[in-house]
Amino acid sequence: MVGQSRVQRALSKIGFYAAIGAYVLFAIFPIYWTVKISVTPTRLLYTEGIKLWPSAMTMENYSAVLSATDFPRYFLNSLIVSISTSLIVTAIASLAGYALSRFQFRGKAVVSLLLLLTQTFPLVMVIPPIFRIMGSIGLTDNLYGLIVIYTAFNIAFATFLMQSFFDGIPKELEEAAMIDGCTRSTALRRIVLPLTLPGMGATISFVFTAAWSELLFALMLINSESQKTFSVGLLTFIGKFAVDWGQMMAASVMALIPVCIFFAFLQRYLVTGLTAGAVKG
Amino acid sequence: MASVTLRNVSKSFGSVHVLSGINLEIADGEFVVLVGPSGCGKSTLLRSIAGLEEVSAGDIMIGVRRVNDVAPRDRDIAMVFQSYALYPHMNVEDNMSFSLKLRKESVSKIGTRVNQASGTLGLGALLERLPKQLSGGQRQRVAMGRAIVRDPKVFLFDEPLSNLDAKLRAQMRTEIKALQQSLGTTSIYVTHDQIEAMTMANRIVVLNEGVIQQVGAPLELYDKPANTFVAGFIGSPTMNFIEGVAGAKGEVKLADGSSIATGATSLKPGHEVTLGIRPEHLQLSGKGLRGEVQVIEPLGMTTQIAVKALGQQLTLMAMERTALSPGQPVHLSASSKHIHVFDRANGRRFALT
Amino acid sequence: MTLASREQMTAKAPIRRWSMAAEPWLYLSPALVCIVTVLLVPLIIGISYSFWKFSAFKSQFAGLDQYRAMASDTVLHDALVNTLWWTVGSLFFQFFLGLGLALLLNRPFYGRRTVQALVFLPWAVPTFLTGLTWSWLFNPLIGPLPHIFYALGIQSEPVTILASPQTAMWGPIIANIWFGIPFFAITLLAARKSIPSEIYEAASIDGASAWQQFTKVTMPFLAPTIAITVMLRTVWIATFADLIYVMTQGGPAGSTNTIATYIYVSAFKALDKGYASAIAMLLLVLLIIYALLVIQMRRSLLKDA
């Protein structure tokens, strides 16, 4: 700023970068530490456990996880659940978001309010009934059950998100297309959908991340080894096999990979996403 | 190419009447401008002709066909939007050829049409660009190009120039007018800018609150406005309005007791009237209405003078430069043939005799 | 021709109008069906559960017994207090650290995009991984934190803070802060960016210091965003059970047991869904009261302003 002495300016600059550095350190350190332990050979774990970087590196934890445990199975289950959920939710939410964005109709405010309420109400409320209902219709211990529940949980948020993407497309584009010779549905297909594709990608990523992270309902509904998702598998792994730290961390790092990939893509949409789903984690 | 006929067209949302009883005949090849303040219904009328909105009653005919129930794509019209509405994911060439492709025209025909249109509009070098890589004026041209490749029966323009800066607007005004004259396509043009209306139209339709106020050639509207609304809307700076009471033989008595001669000799004495005088018809003179100079705005070619008289502000446009200074007392007069007389009760014009 | 088409039109119009009105509902129906069957119906069933008592073999109507049982449930009372701690502790640090980050990121500097990606990353980390990672960091065998705390004199010996009832709650709270800072930073940064820079220029010409600009310009502009995000986050954190469940399962000795984990554990581990539902009702009522209070406060604040 104008009017400050050079010393003051230098000091405030140092303070600024120190603060930024502290935030980056705080954000990255836990992830860094997990990665570090995952590549530390077991024999060095206790002697060098708290060193910043081990004197030797190994990939054997990763190969052990991939070959000797059920984690590949868990990983696949999680992928199935998360991909199916995100595709179904995005399809349903695109329709609903289009309706809310493009139509004026009686009851619209009520629908929006209903969606908003399901966004804000605590999901722990439905834990007891869902546990019983899912049991009575045979959807426990089954990936379909999870997909159904995750779909319902994420629809409201995804609908608001898609609505905001549709709102961003000027209505005149559709009108111009209709004058140019489109029916409403060809205008939707040739003009609106191509323009919403990035938004749909963002919605898929948000829902994927949410489904990938879910723990409580999966833990409650899944028992058998073959149906476990990654979160459940990792947690039961800890309970069962005392502690093989290296393998656990290697498994964790692997669970982190898909969300990191999506996160890289999501960056641009974080603000839209968080305002649409202000309550979501 | 075709004529456009509107018969008793009305549109209302509940008790709100957006358009009421619009009757209008637009001849083949004519350039008609719909003008009015915002919210007057001009855009709604245009969009109803396009088929983007439904009307509550009346007939819309393009040529001899009643199109009320015809989808926009089958009306054979082209429209230029205020926001241009270019498809952001298509380049200039695809934007222009989109409608032809939808009509399954042959590749060679699409090619020649697009080349012709882009040549006319000087877009040849931009065909591969995306809309976001174009300037405002270029986007405007692409929107025009998209309309003309179609060779439609009717062009519809919805305030196409309002997003451009003043200089470009004046240039595009001339270009659109020239283009329309060479193509000879019936055109309906909506604007809130009365200068655009005056310069471009064969005929102007002035709308207010969903009702047609007057239809006529630009100078006809300027010289013989049908009511105070049209009188105040057309012309810049706006017409001066002075209230008065009719006396004998066209004399009108003003608030300060002075009187002024008008051409409306058939006025009944005692009738309450509003006088309208355009700024260029108000003159500084030795006698007449007394006032005091407030502000002087030299514009180069003319000088605009604000005078306080009769407790209101009157604007005067002088062709010559002036040595007046603010605060100076002046007298104003106007020739009786340049004084418009309106009925104060309903705003309608009295015929001058 | 005109006559014929007009007749057609009158016949066609009602159908057309009807289909126009039905169209949005057609698009909305999959979403609505999903939400009603998987969320609303269970919610209503859950409310009805709270009036029943379930055991392994039978279930019977219990009237208000479950609600009466809550009054004498000391675990529940502790959980209420814990919930308050958990919520206030997490929210306070999430908010202020998030605000600080937002203000830092609002200034242009070299490498801002990269920094932004790094500091927002915790938001994307699955909560079960967040919980596990932090409990490992607190573990003296493989984690550095106990040793750091010991070296700094905060702890008398390098042990995990998760094992002691006095300190255990800080574990999940710290993990929650780590996970929640990006949320506040992102929303507040977006709100901060929407403040026109002319206002700051005007303020500095009028002689406002940096601190005055912050209190007189930034904060009033951010206030609406702050109010809504803090309220929503309070509800969200109060009902957020994952982290605590992963890190401590409510222990040791119930010291990290919040209402949300208590509901989860009672519904899932104990058999009595009725009692779990009654607690869930209590939580819902508390949250509604909270929301109403906040809305009331906001209204009176707006009136004063």
Q: Give residue-wise pLDDT tens across range C88-142.
A: 999 999 999 999 999 999 888 888 888 988 999 998 899 889 998 998 888 888 8
Paired tokens of C204: 């500095």
Integer Cα distance of C270 and C215 in angstroms: 51
Please answer yes or no on whether B59 and C2 come within 8 Å at the CB atom: yes
User: Are B341 and B267 spatial neighbours (Cβ–Cβ below 8 Å)?
Assistant: yes
Integer Cα distance of C95 and C226 in angstroms: 9
* Eight-class DSSP state of C106: H
Paired tokens of C46: 């859950």
Q: What is the pLDDT at residue C242? A: 86
Considering CB atoms only, which of C24, C34, C280 is closest to A99? C24
User: Are B86 and B143 spatial neighbours (Cβ–Cβ below 8 Å)?
Assistant: yes
Integer Cα distance of A184 and A178 in angstroms: 7
User: Are A128 and C42 spatial neighbours (Cβ–Cβ below 8 Å)?
Assistant: no
Please answer yes or no on whether A181 and B77 come within 8 Å at the CB atom: no
Q: What tens digit of pLDDT does each residue of B68-106 get?
A: 999 999 999 999 999 999 999 999 999 999 999 999 999
Mean pLDDT of B323-329: 89
Integer Cα distance of C37 and C22 in angstroms: 21
Pairing between β-strand B211-216 and β-strand B203-208 as defined by DSSP bridges: antiparallel
Please answer yes or no on whether A275 and C190 come within 8 Å at the CB atom: yes
Please give the C-alpha separations between residue B295 and each of A132, B298, B305, in angstroms, as whole numbers: 84, 10, 6
The per-residue pLDDT string of chain A (281 residues; one tens digit each, 9 = 90 and over) reads: 556 678 888 888 899 999 999 999 999 999 998 888 888 887 777 777 667 787 778 888 888 888 888 889 999 999 999 999 999 999 999 999 999 998 888 888 888 888 887 776 777 778 778 877 887 887 778 888 899 999 998 998 899 889 988 998 998 999 999 999 998 888 988 999 999 998 899 899 889 988 998 888 888 888 888 888 988 888 887 766 666 788 888 888 988 988 888 888 887 777 777 766 554 44
Cα–Cα–Cα angle for A46, A52, A56, nearest 5°?
A: 65
> What's the 3-state SS for chain B?
CCCEEEEEEEEEECCEEEEEEEEEEECCCCEEEEECCCCCCHHHHHHHHHCCCCCCEEEEEECCEECCCCCHHHCCEEEECCCCCCCCCCCHHHHHHHHHHHCCCCHHHHHHHHHHHHHHHCCHHHCCCCHHHCCHHHHHHHHHHHHHCCCCCEEEEECCCCCCCHHHHHHHHHHHHHHHHHHCCEEEEEECCHHHHHHHCCEEEEEECCEEEEEECHHHHHHCCCEHHHHHHCCCCCCEEEEEEECCCCEEEECCCCEEECCCCCCCCCCEEEEEECHHHCEEECCCEEEEEEEEEECCCCEEEEEEECCEEEEEEECCCCCCCCCCEEEEECCHHHCEEEECCCCEECCCC
User: Are A262 and A248 spatial neighbours (Cβ–Cβ below 8 Å)?
Assistant: no
As a whole number of Å, the CA-based R_g of chain A is 24
Which range has the worst mean pLDDT, A267-276, B208-217, B322-331, C21-30?
A267-276
Report how far Cα C138 is from the mean position of its chain's Cα atoms: 24
Q: What is the pLDDT at residue B94? A: 93
> C19 — phi, psi (to 5°)?
-70, -30
Band (B58; pLDDT cuts 50, 70, 90): very high
Please answer yes or no on whether C263 and A127 come within 8 Å at the CB atom: yes
Nearest CA in chain A to B157: A176
In chain A, residues with a C-beta closer than 8 Å to the C-beta of C264 are: 124, 127, 216, 220
Please answer yes or no on whether A195 and B88 come within 8 Å at the CB atom: yes
Please answer yes or no on whether B72 and A175 come within 8 Å at the CB atom: yes
Q: Give the mean pLDDT of chain B.
A: 91
Q: What is the pLDDT at residue C6? A: 41
* Whether the bond into A128 is cis, omega within 30 of 0: no
Please give the C-alpha separations between residue A274 and each of A158, A160, B222, B257, in angstroms, as whole numbers: 11, 10, 56, 70
B9 Cβ neighbours under 8 A, 6+ residues apart: B19, B21, B22, B23, B45, B48, B55, B57, B58, B59, B60
Amino acid at B151: D
Paired tokens of B84: 């241009």
In chain B, residues with a C-beta closer than 8 Å to the C-beta of A182 are: 73, 102
Integer Cα distance of A131 and A133 in angstroms: 6
Integer Cα distance of C64 and A203 in angstroms: 43
Strand partners, A234: none
> C117 — phi, psi (to 5°)?
-60, -40
Amino acid at A12: S
In chain A, residues with a C-beta closer than 8 Å to the C-beta of B87 are: 173, 176-177, 191
Q: What is the pLDDT at residue C64? A: 81
Cα–Cα–Cα angle for A134, C246, C233, nearest 5°?
A: 85
Q: What is the pLDDT at residue B62? A: 94
Q: Taking 90 as the threshold, does the pLDDT of residue B218 lie above it?
A: yes
Q: What tens digit of pLDDT does each residue of B233-278 get?
A: 999 899 999 999 988 888 899 888 888 888 888 888 888 999 999 9
A165 Cβ neighbours under 8 A, 6+ residues apart: A97, A196, A198, A199, A200, A202, A203, A272
Integer Cα distance of B317 and B307 in angstroms: 11
Integer Cα distance of C40 and B166 in angstroms: 57
Q: How far apart are the first and last CA of chain C?
A: 66
Q: A43 burial class (0-12, 13-18, 19+ CB within 10 angstroms)?
A: exposed
Please answer yes or no on whether A129 and C187 come within 8 Å at the CB atom: no
> B142 in contact with A at a CB cutoff of 8 Å?
no
Please answer yes or no on whether C133 and A148 come within 8 Å at the CB atom: no
Mean pLDDT of B104-128: 91
* Eight-class DSSP state of C59: E
Please give the C-alpha separations between residue A189 and each of A16, A179, A185, in angstroms, as whole numbers: 49, 15, 6
> B314 — phi, psi (to 5°)?
-110, 145
- Residue of B54, B81, B114 for testing the chain A interface, max A β-carbons within 10 Å: B81
Query: CB contacts < 8 Å between B and C, how many?
Result: 9
Profile chain C (305 residues) by mean pLDDT over runs of 10 residues.
39 58 89 90 85 75 80 87 93 95 90 89 90 88 83 79 86 94 89 87 87 88 84 86 87 85 79 81 86 78 64
Q: What is the pLDDT at residue B255? A: 87
Considering CB atoms only, which of A179, A186, A191 is closest to B87? A191
Measured between CA atoms, how close is B152 to chain C, in angstroms?
23
Q: What is the pLDDT at residue B187? A: 95
Integer Cα distance of C36 and A264 in angstroms: 34
Paired tokens of B232: 């105040």
In chain B, residues with a C-beta closer than 8 Å to the C-beta of A183 are: 71, 73
Positive/negative CA dihedral, B41, B42, B43, B48? positive
In chain B, residues with a C-beta closer than 8 Å to the C-beta of A170 are: 83, 85
Q: What is the pLDDT at residue C162? A: 84
Integer Cα distance of C226 and C294 in angstroms: 12
User: Are B143 and B84 spatial neighbours (Cβ–Cβ below 8 Å)?
Assistant: yes
Paired tokens of A70: 């059920």
Give me the percent of chain B exceeding a pLDDT of 70.
Answer: 99
C273 Cβ neighbours under 8 A, 6+ residues apart: A128, A129, A131, A132, C49, C54, C267
The residue to which tokens 């005692």 are assigned: B270
Considering CB atoms only, which of A46, A111, A220 is closest to C268? A220
Considering CB atoms only, which of A170, A181, A191 is closest to B73? A181
Report how far Cα C287 is from the mean position of its chain's Cα atoms: 12
Integer Cα distance of B305 and B320 in angstroms: 11
Q: What is the pLDDT at residue A242? A: 61
* Eight-class DSSP state of C165: T
Considering CB atoms only, which of C189, C246, C280 is closest to A235? C246
Q: What tens digit of pLDDT does each residue of C170-184 get?
A: 999 999 999 999 989
Nearest CA in chain A to C270: A128
Amino acid at C282: L
Give the residue among B268, B287, B264 at the shortest CA–CA distance from B276: B264
Q: What is the pLDDT at residue A279? A: 45
User: Are C187 and C151 spatial neighbours (Cβ–Cβ below 8 Å)?
Assistant: no
ipTM of model: 0.85
3-state class of C153 per DSSP?
A: coil
DSSP codes, chain A: -TT--HHHHHHHHHHHHHHHHHHHHHHHHHHHHHHHHHTS-HHHHTTSTTSSS-SS---HHHHHHHHHSSHHHHHHHHHHHHHHHHHHHHHHHHHHHHHHHH---TTHHHHHHHHHHHHHS-GGGGHHHHHHHHHHTT-TTSHHHHHHHHHHHHHHHHHHHHHHHHHTS-HHHHHHHHHHT--HHHHIIIIIHHHHHHHHHHHHHHHHHHHHH--HHHHHH--SGGG--HHHHHHHHHHHSS--HHHHHHHHHHHHHHHHHHHHHHGGGHHHHHHHTTT--
Considering CB atoms only, which of A1, A46, A231 is closest to C128? A231
User: Are C143 and A34 spatial neighbours (Cβ–Cβ below 8 Å)?
Assistant: no
